[in-house]
Structure 1
Amino acid sequence: MEIKEPRKVSVFNNVGGGGQYVRKQVCAYWLEGRCNRNPCRFMHRLSPAPQSKDHSGLVPSDNRKPKSTWRNANSCGSMNRTIHTNEGAKKCAQGRSIQDTHQRFSTTRVAATCDRNSQKGQVKMCQYWLSDNCVHGEKCKYLHSYFSGSGFSMLTMLDGHTKAVTGIALPSGSDKLYSGSKDGSVRVWDCHSGQCVGVVKLDTKVCCLISEGQWVFVGLQNAVKVWNLQRQTELHLNGPVGQVCSMVVSNDMLFAGVEGGCIFAWKFSSDQCSPELVGSLKGHDGDVVAVAVGASNRLYSGSKDNTVKVWDLQNMQCLQTLCGHSSDVTSVLCWDNFLLSGSLDNTIKVWAATDSGLLEVVYEHREESGILSLEGIHDAEAKPILLCSCKGNNMKLYELPSLAERGRIFAKRDIQSVQIASGGLFFSGDETGQVFVWKLDEARS
């Protein structure tokens, strides 16, 4: 089924700048945080009302255009839950000694709390500005912006979902962005215009959404819906009992964490008409809300039972249970030699392997509120950056391994979904249904 192309009106004048729309103009004083008119005859937002087309129950098409405003490069593969340093690809949880690990994270003891001096004060966003009701203008003591810091910028805001955004994906080489929501829909956004060009309505809420190559996977109640964008086919993977809470793809395998504690595994390839259910991993006592695949054929899973489990994917056996968090483990991420886990107990724990090969906590970073999501991205100088979404309507950008804060992103409600793409692009989706497109600054010539 073909989705009609929107008008060729670019969202931006350039990659890092704001756009100018056909019917309404953005208030220049509002952009500077100085507008004190209420109401104002100019627009106090960065995108016009969405113009979507309803394509209920149909496979979203992936029509291509020769150029794009923001998109994945054709040469870029799918993003997994592993980030590497510019020293080269290294194996997660293998190699360095514990003493070296302490030195890298600038700590002298295991489970050391974070250095308060590395945090840039209590930057707060004006809640009245969010609703266009702040009358203080430039005299307001709170921030009139969706972000603070340097080295990145907001490209656009995508409005359309009516409930929390739970998954965002930009398939490799595609000029369409996909977002899933608890409102029971998947929206398709055109990267040239920033407009919604398709809506797929589902019978139940979307809890997670990812992509791999030309595949898009949508986690639903008791099933995973699969779209092959190249073949324009739709599949329905049965097996899970309960809500599919998390997914990850690695080596032609799809792993789905389900409420209740089970992880299902499917094998798929471009030659198969449908992925094959090959087994399940059982051991968690709570919903599996985070999964990541590292080196040495290891799967890491985080659960509401407060633990992280390490699985050997060759024999589908649990190798170790990591007990260190005191609340839900909401995110797991492999970086260099290390495993990072985020929890609602307000901590990010860094795990590394001992001489025996078992993982233990080598560093602990404490936030003021619970961690919702962790993602890793590289800046233009190939330095790793940690994106840390927390309760309290904000996301922080940290440099690794110092965990020095580079900036903050704010939202109207908690940022539940964070996703990265090539070229310094990353995306955030909050509980109100808004999707934001961000970009790290390019290297200076």
Structure 2
Amino acid sequence: MDVDGGGKRVFQRLGAPSGDSRNQKVCFHWRAGKCSRYPCPYLHRELNGPPHAASNGAANAASKRGHGFASDDSSVSVPRRSPNFSGGSTWGRVHGGGNRIIRKTEKLCNFWVQGNCTFGDKCRYLHSWSLGESFSHLTQLDGHQKVITGITFPSGSDKLYTGSKDETVRVWDCQSGQCMAIINLGGQVGSMIAEGPWVFVGIPNCVKAWNIQTSADLSLSGPVGLVYSLVVGNDLLFAGTQDGSILAWKFNVATNCFEPAASLSGHTLPVVSLVVGANRLYSGSMDHTIKVWSLESLQCLQTLTDHTSVVMSVLCWEQFLLSCSLDKTIKVWAATESGNLEVTYTQKEDHGLLTLCGMHDLDGKPILLCSCNDNSVRLYDLPSFSERGKIYSKEEIRSIQAGPGGIFFTGDGTGQVKVWTWLTEQAVAASM
């Protein structure tokens, strides 16, 4: 099992290089005569030279893919790493802290959802599953009967894996969008990740491990109750369990199996989120706390207690830790000189938050997707927290996963998995 540096992919998901070229881009909202951001990070004038070239394939990606959702790397530009935002003072500078622009059409029409709105195009409410110009819906994957609790896209594979509380994992072909296999597990899926050739699935009292190259099928015993979260770091597989413990296994090449390595105790309620970054393991729990663990000693270094309800998701971005909770806040944590984490910014929302996912759009800008328990997902630019759009669903979206070539996935409480794609700024401007 190749899990060397497995945490890097998670930690660098919203990574940052040097250099910031944002101020050399023309604001396409300004071009359309409706930019309302102040201050706007983009130019409100035309460049002297021609705008930088963009692939026309991105604008037509959905039509070229047919019924599937595979990315055509020859027609979709590769996302660049984000500019390096340092220091906590930049957080929430633009439309931060609840100063987002509210449009009267941001409310989803309930009659349209039920298929019986009589106002049609004259309805004052939204007749769409999304609001935003920089991304579009590709397709929908139907088949699961209950809430989606895991979505993963193994590296180098052309298959998408989705897990649900309906006790199955479905395997989808990325070219056709068709379900290729249904795996019955005999227990609800609490979590699912992929690392190298391995797919790990957390179910009650067990972690299933499948090698998609060798077809090895292993069962890792030890968890008590449902496995709510999984992550790989420092050659170890970690599982957050219903009894509040975090179990760790190490792969033994000689025996071709996973051997128990440690059990981390300290949480008093289920561990629902795990992430690895900067040689640390971070765990979010129903006990309202986040614990910081050393990946070397596996000792708890700090317990963060600023949230007042369940910590649903934790995410690493650059030198920051982001967390969200049912207390209706997203908190940004940064290390002090002593090495301890403290809150440097709090984003307040109107609803409880369920999960965080970070990715880049096709213009290389870092985006944070935040699922709320009002059946919506907010999309924010980082670090400003200026709103990029919203995604709506019939029920809560519990799983969000980034894919290759600007594709991302959302899974909701009805069992539907939707496939989305980012568009370049130039493609959006051209469509206006």
- Are the aligned partners of 2:282 and 2:291 in contact in 1 as well (CA < 8 Å)? yes
1:136 corresponds to which of 111, 119, 134: 119
Matching residue of 2:297: 315
The secondary structure found in structure 2 opposite 1:275 is strand
3-state SS in 1 of match to 2:116: coil
The alignment status of 1:426 with 2:423, answered yes or no, reads no
- Aligned partner of 2:211 in structure 1 is 228
Match of 2:397 in 1: 415
Match of 2:83 in 1: 86
Deviation at 1:272, TM superposition (A): 5.7
1:217 pairs with one of 196, 200, 206: 200
Between Structure 1 and Structure 2, how many residues are aligned?
Answer: 363
Structure 2: 5+ residue stretches without partners:
1-58, 74-79, 428-432
Aligned residue for 2:191? 208
Aligned pairs (5 A) from 1:273-284: 273-284=256-267
The residue identity in structure 2 corresponding to 1:387 is L
Q: Which residue of 1 aligns with 2:375?
A: 393
Give the Cα–Cα distance (whole angstroms) in 2 for the partners of residues 155 and 382 of structure 1.
20
Q: TM-score when scaled to structure 1?
A: 0.77
In the alignment, is residue 106 of structure 1 matched against residue 93 of structure 2?
Answer: yes
Q: Which residue of 2 aligns with 1:155?
A: 138
Is 1:17 the counterpart of 2:63? The answer is: yes
Name the structure 1 match of 2:70.
70
Once the two structures are TM-superposed, the CA of residue 233 in structure 1 deviates from its matched residue by 1.4
- The CA deviation string for residues 9-33 of structure 1, in whole angstroms up to 9 with x for no partner, is xxxx953239878xxxxxxxxxxxx
1:173 partnered with 2:156: yes
Give the C-alpha shift of residue 85 in structure 1: 3.3
Structure 1 residues 273 and 414: alpha-carbon distance in aligned structure 2, compared to 1, 3 A threshold: same
The verdict on how the C-alpha distance between 1:385 and 1:179 changes in structure 2, with shifts beyond 3 A counting, is same
Cα gap change, 1:235/1:387 in structure 2, threshold over 3 Å: closer, same or farther? same
Residue 317 of structure 1 aligns to which amino acid in structure 2?
Q
How far is 1:103 from its partner?
3.8
State the one-letter code of the partner of 2:61.
V
Query: Who is 2:235 aligned against?
Result: 252
Distance 2:96 2:308 in 1: 15
Q: Per-residue CA shift, 1:229-257, capped at 9, x if unaligned? A: 00011100001111100111223321110
TM superposition shift of 1:118: 4.9
CA contact 2:92–2:347 (8 Å) conserved in 1: no
Shift of 1:117: 3.5
Residue 61 of structure 2 aligns to a residue whose secondary structure is coil
Report matched runs for 1:434-445 at 5 Å. 434-442=416-424, 444=426
Choose which of 295, 299, 306 in structure 2 pairs with 1:324: 306
Per the alignment, in what secondary structure is the counterpart of residue 230 of structure 2? strand
Summarize the Cα distance change of 1:180–1:154 in structure 2 as closer, same or farther, 3 Å threshold: same
- The aligned counterpart of 2:46 is none
CA distance in 1, matches of 2:337, 2:369: 30
- Distance in 1, matches of 2:269 and 2:380, equals 30
Judge which range, 397-406 or 134-143, deviates more: 134-143
| Cα displacement (A) at 1:131 | 2.7
Using the alignment, how far apart are the partners of 1:157 and 1:149 within structure 2? 18
Conservation of the 8 A alpha-carbon contact between 1:71 and 1:175: no
Matched, 1:362 2:344: yes
Distance 1:285 1:17 in 2: 50
- Normalised to the residue count of structure 2, the TM-score between the two structures is 0.79
Pair 1:122–1:372, CA change in 2 (3 A): farther
Contact 2:81 2:364 in 1 (8 A): no
What displacement does 1:137 show? 1.0
CA distance, structure 2, for counterparts of residue 130 and residue 179 of structure 1:
24
Q: Any idea what SS the aligned residue of 2:390 has? A: strand
Task: Tell me if the contact between 1:189 and 1:198 (Cα under 8 Å) persists in the aligned partners.
Answer: yes
Residue 282 of structure 1, CA deviation: 0.5
CA distance change for structure 1 residues 193 and 148 in 2, over 3 Å: closer, same or farther? same
In structure 1, give the amino acid aligned to 2:360.
Answer: H
Change over 3 Å in CA distance of 1:208–1:435 after alignment to 2: same
**Structure 1 residues 429, 123: CA separation in 2 closer, same or farther (over 3 Å shift)?**
same
1:325 CA displacement:
0.6
Structure 1: gaps spanning 5 or more residues: 1-12, 22-67, 74-82, 91-95
